Amino acid sequence: MNRGNKILWWAIALLVMLNLTTIGTILFRNSERSVDDMAIVLDENMQNPLTGRFFRQALGFSDAQMVLFREANQSFQHAANDLIYEMDSLKNEMFAELNSPAPDSTRLNALSDHVGNHHAELKKITNVFYLQLKAACDSSQCEQLQQAFTPLFRDGTMNRGRGYRWNDSTATGQGHRHRYGRGGRSE
């Protein structure tokens, strides 16, 4: 082989290595970003999905805090997704039973109990996850964490009676806090 061919082969080898390194970097960054983008609760109607990116940008999580977030989030996501899937399956079974020609109320009650138990377990693991994140936060981040998690605990179904706005447990809305107005009289 002459000297010119050797130089060409080395240049080709160098370009191949450069391309492989570039592709590897892109794949690594995308996988890192997808972990940061993993939502805590998959709700597209949420204004601020609780993702790794959210915690890094809005709460200013450091690299050490992000490691703690990823560890806590991974175990939380796995357990939460399993529970949500099982609850959805139970709800489908319940709906099918309700629409059967002769619905079995004992089976419906058992399915309802199972859904309730799963929901309670989901709330428990959410509490553990929140406390893990709270332990990793400083005082200013704790306030922002509380605001970020508020939609999970106030899902639009609380206190919708007369005198309340949606999600208004303080009754600062236009109505009265009491069910039938002030003094118990009906309106």
Residue 35: pLDDT band with limits 50, 70, 90: low
* The pLDDT value given to residue 44: 41
Residue 73, classed as helix, strand or coil, is helix
* The pLDDT value given to residue 99: 92
Residues 14 and 22 sit within 8 Å (Cβ to Cβ): no
* The pLDDT value given to residue 109: 92
Q: Which of 126, 118, 114 is nearest to 84 (CA)?
A: 118
Query: CA-CA distance, 75 to 129, in Å (whole number)?
Result: 9
Domain spans of the chain?
Answer: 38-156
Residue 101: pLDDT band with limits 50, 70, 90: very high
Query: CA-CA distance, 88 to 84, in Å (whole number)?
Result: 6
Residue 42: pLDDT band with limits 50, 70, 90: very low
Q: With a cut of 50, say whether residue 41 has pLDDT above it.
A: no
Asked: is 38-156 a CATH 3.40.50.80 domain? The reply is: no
Please give the residue that has the higher pLDDT: either 1 or 172. 1
- Identify the weakest region by mean pLDDT among 81-95, 133-147, 155-169: 155-169
Please compute Rg for the chain using Cα positions.
Answer: 26
Task: Summarize pLDDT for 17-28 with one digit per residue, the tens.
Answer: 988 899 988 888
Question: What token pair was written down for 91?
Answer: 């709800």
Residues contacting 176, CB < 8 A, separation 6+: 162, 163, 182
Please give the average per-residue pLDDT across 145-161, as a whole number: 65
Q: Report the mean per-residue pLDDT for the chain.
A: 76
Residue 49: pLDDT band with limits 50, 70, 90: low
Q: With a cut of 70, say whether residue 46 has pLDDT above it.
A: no
Residues contacting 123, CB < 8 A, separation 6+: none
Q: With a cut of 60, say whether residue 100 has pLDDT above it.
A: yes
**Distant-in-sequence contacts of 133-140, Cβ < 8 A, 24+ apart:** 133/55, 133/68, 133/69, 133/72, 136/61, 136/65, 136/68, 136/69, 137/59, 137/65
Task: Summarize pLDDT for 108-148 with one digit per residue, the tens.
Answer: 999 999 999 999 999 999 899 889 988 988 888 888 888 88
Q: What are phi and psi of 6, to 5 degrees?
A: -60, -40
